[in-house]
DNA sequence: CCTGACACTAACATTATTGTGCGTACTTAC
DNA sequence: GTAAGTACGCACAATAATGTTAGTGTCAGG
């Protein structure tokens, strides 16, 4: 068994500017193409696999599964499989996951609100 | 010449859940591996190319240039080249860029603070 | 004279990420 | 009986992102 709170947990802080820092890995999962969207979708409510697939336009089953596994390993998403037929699996955010999801959501909101402004620059510049 | 404020800018909001929405593109630039770090670095101050390169551990010149160009086209970063020798180029955030950078920074802070907790889960699970 | 700094670009090699199609094992709906 | 839904895993292909190397032109420092 591991200690309840490791030394690193109490003392160390990640440094994203450092190439070798593990925080880089977390960043990649969270900000991956579908990671952002999964976190946002799950922030609203617990979802099944195929619900997520329908909610998130353009995601393939393979990528959705992959992304969910990353986030699960990071302890941000929890998976609950019901032993029934047909299979029923529920994905939800962990307390930790709710933390990131909130931040991610704020960023996503900003992007949704400002995309039109940004896209105007694209057409103006050609 | 384009209209001062396009219809889309006043009326439409991006929808990240829609596969074809342009907001997806903005999201990709902002959350790209180096995009996040560039925005954070520039939030603290205007920087020269090689300063950014030194600040952001592990970034190659090619990727830094690429990322800066994406963000510049999106109107988030502005580039100012002084006509001197040796070349002197300054990168800074536009007002729009300051908007995203603030949101990105909050996310990055969260990750830096919680990476230790997350990484603990990695070792525990093996 | 030789090197390094500066801010890149172009060409090429290599990963990483993503997509596609198929298979699973069972059930309900048509 | 046939198709579709369920939640994926696996193999392979394609595309996107990233890295590596070399080169540009000028000038200051050793």
Closest CA to A107 of B66, B56, B16, B77: B16
- CB contact (8 A) between residue A107 and residue B108: no
Spell out which residues of chain A touch residue B37, defining contact as CB-CB under 8 Å.
Answer: 16-17
Which long-range contacts does A7-12 make (Cβ < 8 Å, 24+ apart)? A8/B116, A8/B119, A8/B120, A9/B116, A9/B117, A9/B120, A12/B116
pLDDT digits (tens, 9 = 90+) for A19-37: 889 999 999 999 999 999 9
Q: What is the CA B30 to C1' D3 distance in angstroms?
A: 43
The residue of chain A nearest to residue B8, with distances taken between CA atoms, is A116
Average pLDDT for B8-37: 86
Q: How far apart, in whole angstroms, are the C-alpha atoms of residue B5 and residue B27?
A: 22
Where residue B16 falls (left for φ over 0; alpha for ψ -120 to 50; beta otherwise) is alpha
Alpha-helical runs (H) found in B47-94: 49-55, 61-73
Q: What is the pLDDT of residue B64?
A: 94
- pLDDT number for residue B39: 96
pLDDT at residue B40 greater than cutoff 60? yes
Q: Which helix (H) or strand (E) holds B22?
A: none
Is A112's CB within 8 Å of B37's CB?
A: no
Please tell me the predicted confidence (pLDDT) of residue A79. Answer: 94
Give yes or no for a contact between A56 and B17, defined as CB atoms under 8 angstroms apart. yes
Amino acid B25 CA to nucleotide D21 C1' distance, rounded Å? 30
What's the mean pLDDT when you consider all of chain B?
89
Contact residues, chain B, for A123 at CB < 8 Å = 2
Instruction: Mark A50-82 as b/e (b = at least 16 C-beta within 10 Å).
Output: eebbebbeebeeebbeebbebbbebbbbbeeee
Domains, chain B: 18-125 (1.10.10.10)
**How much is the pLDDT for A44?**
94
Task: Note the pLDDT tens digit of each residue in B42-87.
Answer: 999 999 999 999 999 989 899 999 999 999 999 999 999 998 888 8
Q: Do A23 and B111 touch (CB under 8 A)?
A: yes
Distance separating alpha carbons of residues B103 and A11, to the nearest angstrom: 25
Test A22 with B117 for CB contact under 8 angstroms: no
A61 touches strand D (CB under 7 A): yes
pLDDT along chain A (126 residues), means of 10: 57 86 91 93 94 90 92 93 86 96 95 92 76
Q: Which residues of A touch B124 (CB under 8 A)?
A: 2
pLDDT of residue B123: 79
């Amino acid at each position: 068994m591991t200690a309840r709170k490791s030394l690193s947990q109490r003392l160390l802080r990640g440094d994203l500017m450092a190439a070798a820092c593990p925080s880089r890995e977390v960043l990649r999962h969270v900000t991956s193409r579908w990671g952002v969207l999964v976190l946002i979708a799950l922030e609203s409510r617990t979802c099944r696999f195929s619900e997520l697939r329908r909610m998130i336009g353009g995601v393939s089953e393979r990528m959705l599964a992959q992304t969910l596994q990353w986030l699960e390993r990071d302890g941000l998403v929890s998976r609950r499989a019901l032993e029934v037929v047909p299979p029923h699996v529920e994905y939800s955010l962990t307390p930790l996951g709710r933390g990131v999801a909130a931040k991610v959501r704020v960023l996503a909101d900003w992007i949704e609100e400002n995309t039109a402004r940004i896209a105007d620059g694209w057409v103006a510049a050609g």
